[in-house]
Amino acid sequence: MPYLLRVELPDVPGSLGRLASAIGDAGGDIEAIEIVEKGRGGSAVDDVFLEVAPGSMPDSVVSTVNALEGVRVLWIGRYAAGGNLFLDLEAVEELTEDPETALDRLVDRLPVVFRADWGARVSKTDGILHATGAAPTDLTWQPIERAEVIESTDENNIHCGARLNKSEIIVIGRRGGPAFLDSEIARLGHLVGLAMSIAKAARATS
């Protein structure tokens, strides 16, 4: 079973090696590691995609990692996509291939880019304009001015959104966690801004 492990660790040489060794000792097999955020008071936050060997438990991985000096597990959960990372620049490249559908294509890609469960584009007047299959059906427009965390009535859902224009927003969500970090929120705002620019340029030339 593949898992996503989000961990905070000292931003010093050798930290990743100690982390990888600990995960291996606990029966985990690392598929990929991605840096999520750096500069947190001398620490970094990494996402580790791993498989747990038959007979091993994810709790064992958590306990072993937490026992490392200066290391803290922030979240662990099943992650069906495994280590299939879809980087920001790759997402932007795909949007430019078909600029007229850039906004909807961005919604489709955001769950993979941010390891979220769903994405949606929501209008102030028309409700949900486009969404991935797992998105809630009761999403409503929120008066946000920038990329930010959005409060959810469902405590098991964590929402983050960014403004497209005066009447539309992009929303992504995770069930249970992990929480959206400031760096992820900033990335979302940047990607949404790029997608909007690509879509505007396509309309101007059509």
pTM: 0.76
Each residue's pLDDT, cut to its tens digit, for the chain (206 residues) gives: 788 899 999 999 999 999 999 999 999 999 888 888 887 789 999 999 999 888 888 999 999 999 999 999 999 988 765 444 456 767 888 888 889 999 999 999 999 889 899 999 999 999 999 999 999 999 999 999 889 999 887 888 899 999 999 999 999 999 988 999 998 999 999 899 989 999 888 888 76
Three-state SS annotation for the chain: CEEEEEEEEECCCCHHHHHHHHHHHCCEEEEEEEEEEECCCCEEEEEEEEEECCCCCHHHHHHHHHCCCCCEEEEEEECCCCCCCCCHHHHHHHHHHCHHHHHHHHHHHHHHHCCCCEEEEEECCCEEEEECCCCCCCCCCCCCCCCEEECCCCCCEEEEEEECCCCEEEEEEEECCCCCCHHHHHHHHHHHHHHHHHHHHHHHHC
